Amino acid sequence: MTSDADTLRSELRAHLPDPLPRRLGVAVSGGSDSTALLRLLADIGQQEQIELFAATVDHGLRSESASEALTVSALAQRLGIPHETLNWQGWDGAGNLQDQARRARYRLLVAWAEAKGIEAIALGHTADDQAETVLMRLARSAGVSGLSAMAPARKEHGITLLRPMLALSRAQLRTYLTAQGISWIDDPSNQDQRFDRIKARRALSGLDQIGITAETLSRVADNLAQAREALAQYTQDSAARLMRVMDGDLRIDRHGFDALPKEIRRRLVVASVSWIAGAEYPPRRKAVDQVLEAISSGQATTLGGCILIPEGKNTWICRELNAVRHETTQPAELWDRRWRVTGPEALGAEIHALGEDGILQLEDWRLAGKPRAALLSTPAVWVRGSMVAAPLAGFANDWKAEMRSERADFAAVILSH
Ligand SMILES: Nc1ncnc2c1ncn2[C@@H]1O[C@H](COP(=O)(O)OP(=O)(O)OP(=O)(O)O)[C@@H](O)[C@H]1O
C-alpha cells in the first residue's frame, strides 16, 4: 500500500472528472482524510489551473470546534486557497444529533457552493468510511441498496458532490500527511463509543483475522452497487410497462405487478410513495411488505402519507387526504411541496385540499376518471368557504395546477432508490 505523493495524486486525479470543474470546492473537517484531500488537490488545482475553495462547517457542538476551523483556515491560507467557516446553530436538542448535523452540513456546503458559483464539492470519504458504512448497515439488516457502495458522484440541488478518495485508505493518507509535516485534528468524538461509526471502526480492526478488511468490505460494496444498478433498471423497465403517471398519482396494472419478483415490487412501492409524499426517509421494510400483500389481495391501505386504492384491474397510489388536510397556501405558492396552483385574480383565494366538502360541490367527480379518494387530496381553490376551482378533479374554471419541476420526474426517483 503506497502513500507517496505522486501515486496518491494520480489515484485522486483518476477519480475526478475530466476536465475538472473551473471552480471546485473542498469540504474540510480538519480530520486526516479531508486534510489530505485539501493538500493533494492544491497541487492538482495548480497544475490544471482551476480555482479551489475550501469550507469547514463548525457545528458548534464542541468547545474546540471554532479553533479547529481556524486550523483548517490557516492551512488553506498557506496553500493559497480561500477558506470559509460555515456555522450551524440549528440543533434544537431533539432527534438524532449525528443525523441532523450531517444533513445541516450538506445543506450549508451546498448553499455555500451555490453562492460562490462552485460547480462541485470534493469530500474526503475513504475506503475505510465505505467499509464502516457496510458494517453498520449489516447491523440494520440492510438490503442491496443499503449495502451498496457510496456513489462516487451525486447531485444535490444542482451541485455535484464528489468522493474521489473511495479507493484510498485512511492509513495511506495519514502516512502521506506525516511525510508532508502536516498535522490533522483527531475529533474527540472519534473516541466516543456512543457513535455507531466509531464502534464499527473498532470492530473492523478485529475482523481481519477472518479476512474481513476495509478493502474486502469496499469490494463487497462495489459488487452490490452493480447489483443495485441492475435492480434499478429492472424496476424502471417494470414501471414503464405497468405504471401510468396521472397528474401526480400513479396507477399500476395489478396483474402484471403481482407477477414481478418481490424485490422489484418493493422498490416500485417505495419509489411511488417517495415520489408522491416527498418524504426524506423511505418507509420501513415491514410496512412495505404488508402493503405488497394488500395490493395482491385487492385491499385498500395506506403507507407514508399515501393511500393505495384497488379499482378494477388496477391499484392507484395517491396522496392521502389526512396528510394534506390542514395544508393551506396562497395561489402560486407551493402546496404540499409539489403543486403550484395559479389562475385569475381572485380576492381572498386560498389553496387547500378538495376534501369531502369540495367534492360535494363538483357536478360529477366520476368524470375526472380517478377514484374518489384520489380526488379528495388534490389542491382546490377556495374563496371564503366556497370551492371555485379544482383543476386536478376536472373543474379547472381557468385555474391550473402544475407540479414543481424538481418533483415531476418519477423515473428519476426510481433510479435513486
Ligand atoms: N465539519 C465539516 N466541515 C466540512 N466538511 C466536512 C465536515 N465533516 C465532514 N466533512 C466532509 O465529509 C467527509 C466525510 O466525513 P464524515 O464521514 O464524517 O461525513 P458524513 O457526512 O457523515 O459522511 P456520509 O455522507 O457518509 O454520512 C469529510 O472527509 C469531509 O470532506
| CA–CA separation, 5 and 176 (whole Å) | 7
Task: Please state the separation of Cα 236 from the chain's center in Å.
Answer: 18
Query: 10 Å Cβ neighbour count for 162?
Result: 24
- Ligand 1 pocket, residue 30 CB under 6 Å: no
pLDDT of residue 386: 93
pLDDT of residue 171: 93
User: Is 26 strand, coil or helix?
Assistant: strand
- Confirm whether residue 33 is marked as ligand binding: yes
CA of 123 to the centre of ligand 1 (A): 7
| CA–CA separation, 320 and 64 (whole Å) | 47
Single-letter residue type at 333: E
Q: Which domains does the chain have, with CATH numbers?
A: 5-220 (3.40.50.620), 226-320+409-415 (1.20.59.20), 322-406 (no CATH)
pLDDT of residue 76: 98
Atom 8 in ligand 1: residue holding the nearest Cα: 29
Distances (CA, A) of 83 to 40, 73, 74, 251: 16, 6, 9, 50
pLDDT of residue 252: 97
CA of 54 to the centre of ligand 1 (A): 13
CA of 235 to the centre of ligand 1 (A): 31
- Ligand 1 pocket, residue 170 CB under 6 Å: no
CA of 124 to the centre of ligand 1 (A): 7
- Ligand 1 pocket, residue 56 CB under 6 Å: yes
Beta-strand relationship, 243-246 and 249-253: antiparallel
Own/partner long-range contacts of 302-311 (Cβ < 8 Å, ≥24 apart): 303/269, 303/273, 304/273, 304/274, 304/277, 304/279, 305/273, 305/276, 305/277, 305/279, 306/272, 306/273, 306/276, 306/277, 307/373, 307/374, 307/377, 309/371, 309/373, 309/374, 310/254, 311/371
CA of 351 to the centre of ligand 1 (A): 40
- Confirm whether residue 249 is marked as ligand binding: no
pLDDT tens sequence for the chain (417 residues): 677 999 999 999 999 999 999 999 999 999 999 999 999 999 999 999 999 999 999 988 888 888 999 999 999 999 999 999 999 987 676 777 778 888 899 999 999 999 999 999 999 999 999 999 999 999 988 889 999 988 899 988 889 999 999 999 999 999 999 999 999 998 766 666 567 888 898 899 899 999 999 999 999 999 999 999 999 999 999 999 999 999 999 999 999 999 999 999 999 999 999 999 998 788 999 999 999 999 999 999 999 999 999 999 999 999 999 999 999 999 999 999 999 999 998 889 999 999 999 999 999 999 999 999 999 999 999 999 899 999 999 999 999 999 997 777 888 888 776
* Cβ neighbours for 59, distance < 8 A, ≥ 6 positions apart: 65, 88, 91, 101, 104, 105
pLDDT of residue 277: 95
Query: 10 Å Cβ neighbour count for 231?
Result: 21
* Cβ neighbours for 253, distance < 8 A, ≥ 6 positions apart: 242, 243, 313, 314
- Confirm whether residue 30 is marked as ligand binding: yes
Helix residue ranges, H only, 29-188: 32-48, 65-78, 97-116, 127-139, 144-147, 170-180
Predicted ipTM of the assembly: 0.95
- Torsion of the alpha carbons at 7, 11, 12 and 16, rounded to the nearest 10: 140
Q: Which atom of ligand 1 is nearest to the CA of 106?
A: 21
Q: What share of the chain is helix, strand, coil (3-state, %, to 5)?
A: 45, 20, 35
- Ligand 1 pocket, residue 33 CB under 6 Å: yes
Tell me the three-class secondary structure of 313-332, residue by residue.
CEEEEEECHHHHCCCCECCC
